[in-house]
Amino acid sequence: MLGFRVGSLIAILLLGLSPAKSHSAEDPHKGIIDVDFADPETCQNCHPRQYEEWSSSSHAYGAISPTFNTFEMAVRKATKGRFANNGIQANFCSKCHSPTAELLEEFPDYVDDESVRPVRESLSEVSKRGISCDSCHRVSSIDDTEVLEEGKLGDGVANTSIVLDTRTGMRRGPLEDPVTNSFHAVSTRSYEYMNGDMLCGACHDVRIGYHEDVGTGQPFRRLENLYTEFQESPYVNLDHPLRDQVEAYHPLTGGKVVTCQDCHMSLYPVGEVAEYPTDLVATQGSGDEPLVERRVSTHYFTGVDMALIDFPNQDDPTLDKNGLPKGLDQRRKLLIERAVEMSLEGTPDEINPGENFPLSVTLTNVGAGHNVVAGFSQERQIWIEATVTDGSGKEVFATGYLRRFDPATGEFLVDPDGDGDHDEEWANVGFAFASDDSNGTPVNPYIEVEGPDKHLVTFTNHFEYVDEQGNHHETHLPIGKTNHFNNGRSLKPFEPVTHVYDIPIPATATGPLSVSVRLRFRHFLPSFLRYLKDRDNSLITEEIIDRVQIIDMCAQSKQVEMDPDVDLNGDGEIDQLDLLEFMRQWHLQHME
């Protein structure tokens, strides 16, 4: 399975601005930058808590990420500069990882493939800080420009539909009554917008314009559908038929429209959805008003991404004053573990040897206000691993296991327990570097491997090429021949999905059966990173690939008894002859 797993490319579209070089709409920021953007350390002087939390986040990491930088280079080459600084959709990707670099015109032009270098090499120090304090707190209004060929529908959502204040030093926040200070002006005009989910929706829907999606018929393709999924969920719609389940699982949401901040800027996942800490907003003020504690937001922005290079506070189990782990690894693991529940209800408690065993696995998204997986879901990997062993310890069924990659030989070995140093791909897929004639994107990236895992169940979305006969072929870049973004494979909030494995149990199997099932997740496919490494191995290394972590989202196990009263020899009688036949077959099977 190969999507274009871009955590960071793709944070690419985390936060950006209307294209400064757009040929179809005038950028509201153009030519009016009168105030410098603040380095985050400047903000740290009065907001140390917020700074410390932000500094380990994916927002702070976005501009220097080797995955983003390498992928962005591949996109510039594949499109011959369409998304480069001098392209038709100028800096469509890169401006989201560093909004200040877009406004300060730091991104390079495309000349030819040989001239393409990592974006981070052209950035000033402040722009290397990614989505920093000023990227959000200088948002002054919504950009509701309609530019259909760029995927902008005029609804103030997607593709960085925001306008930054580039002419004053005023900062804006979520408080209706902020304390004045002598360091910068404050405004209450946009506090409702800062409190609402449209601030996040301005970037966390991403629509690639200029081409129709042949699967949906829309005049654009939904690269990231997160905000739209959230808006269609029972977390936002109080009249949704599944709304009562939201309130049953998350008691603080009763009668309340949930926002993105209620999960990603609250005490969740240690606390509850919509539970916030109390603290000082700033440690210094003007002296005219007393500093008082009030409800504040955390600035960890915990999600499913992680840094693949050394970066502050990635692995730190130490708890902050509010009980949240300081380490991003620890917080994201807790977040992911609260997302989905698993049930084996419907799986029988006993069966007879020689029969088919119906292993029923039900998954329910109970902890995410959007689909699981979400965001750049074509680059996330989520799947069911299941094993069944009999009473002698012999494995009778396995699915969702991984193949181990040996970088020394370039070969894959089957590693059913998935505990190797180089865990790589699912055992039913491979990766061929064959390419079409337009952008180096494999149209059919699978190769058959020995012993394919035909029972694999995955909830990862797809980039696809739909041919003239209507056949769907998965691709791994959202450009070139890709003409459909399949976002319908992931788990919707509170809509259970059940899969039944029909497993033949040998007549010689001994009881009881031991069943083990887990739902597994990782935010990048190693094969995608290896694809990037093949394009430019100066940034992506084997060490980076090995840092991709697998997290078990949920798991269940079960013992299934087996009834020995079976007519093994087929004479219509259950007698001593069946016992002898069982012993004969057992001896043949276990003494090979």
- Would residue 33 count as lying in a domain? no
Which residues have a Cβ under 8 Å from the Cβ of 470 and sit 6 or more positions away?
none
- Give the pLDDT band (50/70/90) at residue 12: very low
DSSP assignment of 37-90 equals PPPHHHHHTT-HHHHHHHHTSHHHHTTT-HHHHHHHHHHHHHTTTTTSTTSTTT
> How many structural domains is the chain composed of?
1
Between 503 and 424, the higher pLDDT residue: 503
Look at 30-34, 95-99, 263-267, 422-426 and tell me which has the smallest mean pLDDT: 30-34
- Would residue 524 count as lying in a domain? yes
* The pLDDT value given to residue 5: 29
Q: Is 590 helix (H, G, I), strand (E, B) or coil?
A: helix
* The pLDDT value given to residue 565: 53
Q: Token digits for 333?
A: 């693991």
- Would residue 523 count as lying in a domain? yes
- Would residue 174 count as lying in a domain? no
- Give the pLDDT band (50/70/90) at residue 570: low
- Would residue 298 count as lying in a domain? no
For residues 166 and 35, the answer to whether their CB atoms sit within 8 Å is: yes
Is residue 237 over pLDDT 80? yes
Query: How far is the C-alpha of 400 from the C-alpha of 384, rounded, in Å?
Result: 6
- Would residue 470 count as lying in a domain? yes
Tens-place pLDDT, residues 297-345: 999 999 999 899 999 999 999 999 999 999 999 999 999 999 999 999 9
DSSP 319: B
Tens-place pLDDT, residues 553-566: 999 999 999 876 55
Is residue 527 over pLDDT 80? no
For residues 85 and 16, the answer to whether their CB atoms sit within 8 Å is: no
Between 404 and 140, the higher pLDDT residue: 140
Is residue 73 over pLDDT 60? yes
* The pLDDT value given to residue 60: 94
Q: Is 418 exposed, middle or buried (0-12, 13-18, 19+ CB in 10 A)?
A: middle
* The pLDDT value given to residue 462: 83
Is residue 187 over pLDDT 50? yes
* Sign of the alpha-carbon dihedral angle for 256, 261, 264, 266: negative
* The pLDDT value given to residue 109: 94
- Identify which of 290, 260, 293 has the alpha carbon closest to the alpha carbon of residue 279: 293
Which domain range does residue 404 map to?
341-561
Average pLDDT, the chain: 82
* The pLDDT value given to residue 34: 56
Look at 112-121, 151-160, 503-512, 513-522 and tell me which has the smallest mean pLDDT: 151-160
DSSP assignment of 215-258 equals TT--SSEEEE-HHHHHHTSTTT-TT-TTHHHHHHH-GGGTT---
- Would residue 292 count as lying in a domain? no
* The pLDDT value given to residue 176: 83
Query: How far is the C-alpha of 300 from the C-alpha of 271, rounded, in Å?
Result: 14
* The pLDDT value given to residue 382: 92
Tens-place pLDDT, residues 26-53: 443 344 455 688 889 999 999 999 999 9
Q: Is 433 exposed, middle or buried (0-12, 13-18, 19+ CB in 10 A)?
A: exposed
Q: Is 335 helix (H, G, I), strand (E, B) or coil?
A: helix
Look at 134-148, 539-553, 561-575 and tell me which has the smallest mean pLDDT: 561-575
Check whether the bond before 219 is cis (ω within 30° of 0). no
Over residues 354-375, the mean pLDDT reads 94
DSSP 115: G
Question: What crossing angle do the helices spanning 66-78 and 526-535 adopt, rounded to 10°?
Answer: 60
**Degrees, nearest 5: CA angle 140-227-268:** 90
- Identify which of 294, 248, 290, 222 has the alpha carbon closest to the alpha carbon of residue 483: 222
Q: Is 292 exposed, middle or buried (0-12, 13-18, 19+ CB in 10 A)?
A: exposed
Between 236 and 378, the higher pLDDT residue: 236
Provide the residue type at 533 as one letter.
K
Over residues 525-547, the mean pLDDT reads 82
**Alpha carbon distances (Å) from 239 to 135, 229, 248, 260:** 34, 16, 15, 19
* Sign of the alpha-carbon dihedral angle for 247, 250, 253, 259: negative
Q: Is 99 helix (H, G, I), strand (E, B) or coil?
A: helix
Residue 61 φ then ψ, to 5°: -90, -20
Check whether the bond before 348 is cis (ω within 30° of 0). no
* The pLDDT value given to residue 568: 60
The side-by-side arrangement of strands in the sheet containing 484-486 is 472-475, 462-466, 484-486
* The pLDDT value given to residue 446: 35
- Would residue 202 count as lying in a domain? no
Q: Is 347 helix (H, G, I), strand (E, B) or coil?
A: coil
Tens-place pLDDT, residues 141-167: 888 888 887 788 888 888 878 888 888
Where in 318-449 does DSSP place strands (E)?
Answer: 340-343, 350-351, 356-365, 381-389, 395-399, 402-406, 411-415, 423-426
Tens-place pLDDT, residues 425-459: 776 554 333 333 333 333 333 333 344 677 888 89
